[in-house]
Structure 1
Amino acid sequence: MALHPKKSIFYLMSLAAGLIVANIYYSQPLLNEISNSFNVSESEVSNVALCSQLGYAFGLLLIIPLGDKIATKKILSYNFLFMITGLTAMAFSPSLFCLLLSSFVVGLASSVPQLLIPLAAHIATPEERGKSIGIVMSGLLIGILVSRIISGVIGEHFGWRILYIIAGISMLLLYIVLQYRLPSYNPDYKGNYVQLMNSLRFYLVDDNNIRMAGLRGALGFAGLSAFWTTLVFLMNDSFGYGSTITGLFGVIGIFGALSAAVIGKWNDKLNQKTILLIASITLFSAWCVLSFSTHSVIMLIIGVILIDLGLQALHITNQNIIFEKYPDARNRVNTVYMFTSFIGGALGTTLGAFSYQNWGWTGVTTLGTFLMILLLTMSIKNYGS
């Protein structure tokens, strides 16, 4: 059955978001291989994931606000150039330092999926906005999960450098498709770049809804990053599995990612405070389960499913809340929200690696549980207000 043209655009945007964001997460199942390649410690090699996340955060801050001023296709042209260059540099990096620098550039350029989500909100009808955001978000989340499967298999059997060559080629092909198929949207912001960036301060300082959404997102992404950064070490140390098996955990998370469109529909119909509370309870439960997973693959599987379900519900609801209030500044409010969230993710990567190196998986699950207690406390307070 043929898709309606407009609906097909949302699925193209979903595919693009997934393929692009995958660039940031390819490294996580490969950290053991990269560590061995450069003869560095677990803590040092975790900085590869950290640099890509920091690059992504700065891309959100410096590039995504331009979506309210410059046509999306024009921004994509420059970003894809940097993205492909960065991926090629990663593939041929002669040292860990070069790899870290290239990883930052790739993260910076790979922030463009966050232009596609506000674009989806713009072209969707009001009654289907949540569903449309959910479709694009499902692609982004599936991309994060599938990236770990692909990188795990390719890294173990062909080497981690080959993966980044393939990624660079895929970005070139994707850019060609988007130039032909992505709808044109010309924003009407008339100020200059400095004025555009100064306006971010208003959304961060004066709007409590955006601040609270950003903090909720930061806590959720911190927990997710701590889990995925250290899972590869747990799988190797406790179960003797390599990056292929670690990457296959992404298959489990796909079932949760496919629920994003459903969660988007809930946002069109249900009370958002209720969804936030359910999401927080789900994430807290996930880390409680993971606390018993040191030697249990079953517990790990259950934990992965709960983390992905909870984080999607949290993330999509946060974005719906802020998009509804500022329809003419969706890229800027999304910048504030996502920048805050990914700073949380970068912090989670650092704290997760530090916790595992010093206290093992118990340290990681203690960290994750503490973060979710903070999130749950916020959601309970918000629900009662």
Structure 2
Amino acid sequence: MSSTAITHDPSAAGLSAGLMLLLATGAGLAAATLYYSQPMLGILGTQFQATPGDIGLVPTLTQLGYALGIWLLAPLGDRYDRRRIILCKGAALTLALLAAASAPTLAVLMLASLAIGLSATLAQDIVPATAALAQSAHRGKMVGMVMTGLLLGILLSRVVSGFVAEQFGWRSMFVAAAISIALLNVAVWFRLPRFVPSTQLSYGALLGSLWTLLRRYSALRRAALAQGLMSVGFSAFWSTLAVMLHAAPFHMGSSAIGAFGLAGAAGALAAPLAGRMADRKGPEQVTRLGAVLLTMAFVAMACGPDQLWLLVVGAVVFDLGTQATLVAHQAIIYSLDSQARSRLNAVLFVGMFTGMSSGAYLGSLVLARFGWQGVCVLAALSGVAALLVRMWPTRLQGK
């Protein structure tokens, strides 16, 4: 077991190729657990004889749990050894996934989904750990590589869960996910170095400092708000896609629905490119470009709601825009205060997953009342709102 400690110069330790692979894989496996249920919602609705609104609470509670976990748990990375936190959350996530696999009722599955969201925040301990280990000149690139792993985990999870659920049953998917996280914990135990805390604040003061950071940095407020707004559209699409494709006129099974994750994965590959662009030219242009791409993709899908090819192309484009914007926002906030990266990351991702949770809930409501075209309009409006936030003059907001 490694006993290396990250001390006053975190960039000195650097990142080996093997450690980078572990961090990217770990972020992807953890984040994937948030989305395994989405392609299975049609199957789960039939299993538990639930309405679309009720079954939509499964992904909603997972996203809500993630937002709460980031707010209440992610700041601990500045106060305690991040390695220990990752290991504890990995054990909790394994148990939560096993609880979902054995859920006898929809209510139990909902509780397990909330627990999965809370403990899957270990992904958000891995990202600032990467920023601490990376050299400052390459931080955007290194974070972008780990975010590629995280985002591929999110998007490919739909492909995997759709196939596994159709071939082996939905419970098997949660069991397989639990095994993957248990194996990740073993690798972390042996490979990840220890981290020296950057603050000695009490837990209460640590949480209170989130508001201090939010008040102090207008760049953080803009990043959290803009990413949260874009996440409304992102989540509205992915949380309702399975229900829409399961019904007429497509009548698709979970494997075919999950395959849409491949389209989104193509967009996620832009994360390292966005990180390099942010390092060279500054991240502001990347955030605006991402919002424009998301808006254009959903406007096009709203104009052709029954065109399957347009859904595929749109998924590539809006995922590219969302992920590029996220990497650029991380480049912005990590430069604000090197001693508070876990807390800065927590504020950004609370905004993001509050938007995710809201998008999952609003998407199911809009789908039931206005159909798939209404979901696309909702998502396009979220992109317009995010673009307005990024274009709002900085001088009018204060420093």
Alignment TM-score, normalising by the size of structure 2: 0.93
What amino acid maps onto 2:195 in structure 1? Y
Give the CA deviation at 1:382: 4.4
Supply the AA of the counterpart residue of 2:17: K
Cα deviation, residue 281, structure 1 = 0.9
Quick check: 1:11–1:135 contact (8 Å CA) kept in 2?
no
Hey, what does 2:257 align to over in structure 1? Answer: 246
Label 1:382 to 1:311 Cα distance change in 2 as closer, same or farther (>3 A).
farther
Residues 1:114 and 2:121 aligned together: no
- TM alignment of 1:1-385, pairs within 5 A: 6-237=16-247, 238-382=249-393
Give runs of ≥4 in structure 1 deviating > 3 Å. 382-385
What CA deviation, in whole Å up to 9, does each residue of 1:347-368 have, x standing for no partner? Answer: 0000000000111101101111
Cα distance in 2 for partners of 1:380, 1:204 equals: 19
Q: Residue type matched to 1:210 in 2?
A: L
| Deviations 1:146-197 (CA, angstroms, capped at 9, x unpaired) | 1000100011121111111111111111100111111221123112111111
User: What is the identity, as a one-letter code, of the residue corresponding to 2:362?
Assistant: L
How big is the shift at 1:7?
Answer: 3.1
CA distance change for structure 1 residues 87 and 54 in 2, over 3 Å: closer, same or farther? same
- Which letter maps to 1:33? I
2-side partners of 1:153 and 1:78: how far apart? 30
Aligned to 1:187, the other structure's residue is in SS state: coil
Per-residue deviation, 1:11: 2.0
Tell which deviates more after alignment, 41-50 or 198-207. 198-207
For residue 14 of structure 1, report the CA deviation from its aligned partner: 0.5
**Once the 2 structures are TM-superposed, how far is the Cα of residue 377 of structure 1 from its aligned partner?**
1.7
Alpha-carbon distance in structure 2 between the residues aligned to 1:160 and 1:236: 16
1:85 CA drift (Å) = 1.1
Partner amino acid, structure 2, of 1:172: A
The residue identity in structure 2 corresponding to 1:126 is S
SS of 2:121 mapped into structure 1: coil
Residue 288 of structure 2 aligns to a residue in which SS? helix
Q: CA deviation at 1:5?
A: 6.1
Tell me the distance in 2 between the aligned counterparts of 1:379 and 1:287.
19
| Aligned mates of 1:195, 1:249 — CA distance in 2 | 43
Uncovered stretches (5+) of structure 2, i.e. residues with no partner = 1-13
The CA RMSD over aligned residues, in Å, is 1.4
Shift, 1:295, TM fit: 1.4
The alpha-carbon deviation at position 383 of structure 1 amounts to 8.1
Q: Which amino acid aligns with 2:120?
A: S
3-state SS of 1:111 partner: helix
Residue identity opposite 1:25 in structure 2 = Y
- In 2, the alpha carbon distance for the partners of 1:297 and 1:383 equals 40
Provide the rounded CA distance (Å) in 2 between the counterparts of 1:232 and 1:314: 25
Structure 1 residue ranges without an equivalent (≥5): none
The residue type equivalent to 1:326 in the other structure is: D
User: Which whole-Å CA distance do the structure 2 matches of 1:357 and 1:216 have between them?
Assistant: 27
Letter of the 1:374 counterpart: A
Give 1:167's aligned amino acid: A
Instruction: Return closer, same or farther for 1:383/1:306 CA change in 2, 3 Å cut-off.
Output: farther
Contact kept in structure 2, 1:280 and 1:310, CA below 8 Å: yes
SS in 2 for 1:326: coil
In the TM superposition, what is the alpha-carbon distance from 1:77 to its structure 2 partner?
2.5
Instruction: Give the secondary-structure state (helix, strand or coil) at the position aligned to 2:335.
Output: helix
- The 3 A distance-change label for structure 1 pair 236 and 293 is farther
Aligned-partner residue type, residue 320 of structure 1: A
Q: TM-score, normalised by structure 1?
A: 0.96
What is the CA deviation profile of residues 107-164 of structure 1, one whole-angstrom value per residue up to 9, with x for unaligned ones?
A: 1000111111111111111110000000000000000011000100011121111111
Compute the displacement of 1:214 (Å).
0.4
| Number of aligned residue pairs | 382
SS state at 1:112 partner: helix
Distance across 2 between alignment mates of 1:242 and 1:219: 30
How far has the Cα of 1:292 moved from its partner?
A: 2.8
1:314 Cα deviation from its structure 2 partner: 0.8
